[in-house]
Each structure stands twice: as C-alpha cells, then as structure tokens.
Amino acid sequence: MLTILVAGSVFFPGLFVLSKQCLKYIPGLRWSERDAVIVSARLVSSVQAIMASSAGYIIASSCDDIVEDQHWLTKAYILFAVPYFVYDIYAMFMCYMYKLQVKGHEADSSAKPLGMALASYLRREFLMVLHHVVMVTVCFPVSVFWRQGKGDYFQGVMFLAELSTPWVCLGKILIQYKQQHTLLHKVNGATMLVTFFICRVLLFPYLYYRYGRYASIHIYMVPFHVPWQVNLGAALLMAPQLYWFYLICRGALRLFKGSRKLALTTREDSNTKEMSQPANGYSAHSTEQKAGAH
C-alpha cells in the first residue's frame, strides 16, 4: 500500500517536471517557463485521465457480478492516483499565477504578495480545489476501506468519468492562447461537450440503472434500497459535474453565437461591396464625371 502511494507521489510531479524541462530546453521548442508550466500541467492531467479510464475499462469489463466481483487494479489505482489530486492543487496554482502573465498582467501578478495570490486562487478555483480535497479526504478512505471490497464494478465505471478530461485540458490550452477561432477548438469543444455529458452527467443515473437491473427493481426504487450514504455521496459528486456542464454549454453557446455573428458580418460586408460595384464595371461617380466632361 505504501509503495503504491510513494510511486504515485513520484510519478505525477516527476512527469510534470520532466515535461516542463523538455518543453523549455529541447532544441526547436525552448518554450518560456510559464508556457511550459501551463502545458505540462494539462499534459499530466491528460495522462492521469487516460490511465484512470484504461483502469476503469479493465475493471468494469472484468466484473460479471457488479457487487461481489473484485479486481486487484481497483485498490491499486486508487492508491496510485491519490497523490495526483494533491499535486494538482499545486499545479493549478502555478497555472493561475502564470495565466495572469499570459493575459498581460505581469505587473499585477509579480507585485501581488503570495498570500493575496493564494487567496485569489482559492476564491476563483474554490469548487475545483474542494473537489480535489474531497477526493483525498473522503473518497479515498471510502473507496479503500468503507466498501470492504464490494462494488469494484461501480468504482471502475467511475474511473471512466476521466475520459472527458483530455478534451477539457486541450480546450483550456486553446483558450489560453486565443485559438478559439480555429477549427480544432470547435471540434474539440463538440467532443468535450459530448464526452462530458456521457461520462460525467449520465454517470450516476447509469450506475443506479445498473444496480436496479442487478437487484431486479425499477431505477426509481434504487435510492430506497441502497444506504443513505451512497445517495448522499452520489448527490455531492454529481452536483459539481452539473455545474461544470452548465459552464461548458454556456461557453459552447457563446462560441456558436460569436461564429454566427462573424459569419453574418462577413456576409454583409461582402454584399455591401457587391452592391457598390456595378455589373458593367463603371461607378456612377465616374460616369457623371465623363458626362460633365462632354
């Protein structure tokens, strides 16, 4: 148990440092410190998401009995991933500090004391930091000890929620560097919207549905058959997912309206130019000048 915790504690910060150094010093790249930090943090998050999703697929597909069957990878990956959430709080703070500089507020960010910057970061990213703290202080002991080896299938499916994370990370990088106008950002946004909805919003209704089939009861009866702690935990975990999905939908709507407005403006400008240019190639002003000359 301790060995796996130590391995996770070394792997995620080590991958962050290695990625940052490569981006800064590899010939042909040589990114700035802030660019390397921001992209490296997103890269580590994406790697963790791919590992968690892979582990989740292996676990869920290996459990025939969704309550009693166990898989060694369940507990092993939980232990391995716990240090990630601690590291990521620090990585998000570093990104927040450098994000101020990327936006052109170098003077503000450098002059602001560390304590004020930390307080500002906690206010801005309160929900995400709280989510990470709960994952370590609540979800970790519940998943490892309280379950008593039952429900590995459900734990594996919950790992699959991370499938949406790489698209979220790529979207943040594209927004950070003002690439909202690119086709890549639009395709990534659509993919992020779909995967987030399926993997995070529909996750808990699906788990209740699966347990209902297992227990041969209707889905609306499941909350009355499982411990109240399960319902409370599901509600607390689903609430931020719904909020983040709302933010994603709002961003997608804003992007759609912006693209539509740009298209209409471009079309209007094109129509104006066409109307100002007669079909015969002569302007009215030049015709009048010629008539006056004669």
Count other Cβ atoms within 10 Å, centred on residue 185: 18
pLDDT of residue 179: 86
pLDDT of residue 216: 95
pLDDT of residue 256: 74
pLDDT of residue 291: 41
pLDDT of residue 148: 84
pLDDT of residue 265: 56
pLDDT of residue 55: 97
pLDDT of residue 51: 97
pLDDT of residue 31: 87
pLDDT of residue 266: 52
pLDDT of residue 281: 39
pLDDT of residue 146: 87
Per-residue pLDDT of the chain (294 residues; tens, 9 = 90+): 889 999 999 999 999 999 999 999 988 878 888 889 999 999 999 999 999 999 999 999 999 999 999 999 999 999 999 999 999 999 999 988 887 765 544 444 455 677 788 888 999 999 999 999 999 999 999 998 888 889 999 999 999 999 999 999 999 888 878 888 889 988 999 999 999 999 999 999 999 999 999 999 999 999 999 999 999 999 999 999 999 999 999 988 887 776 666 555 555 554 454 444 443 333 444 444 444 444
Q: Is the pTM of this model over 0.85?
A: no
Of 51, 49, 73, residue with least CA distance to 61: 73
Phi then psi dihedrals of residue 71, to 5 deg: -140, 130
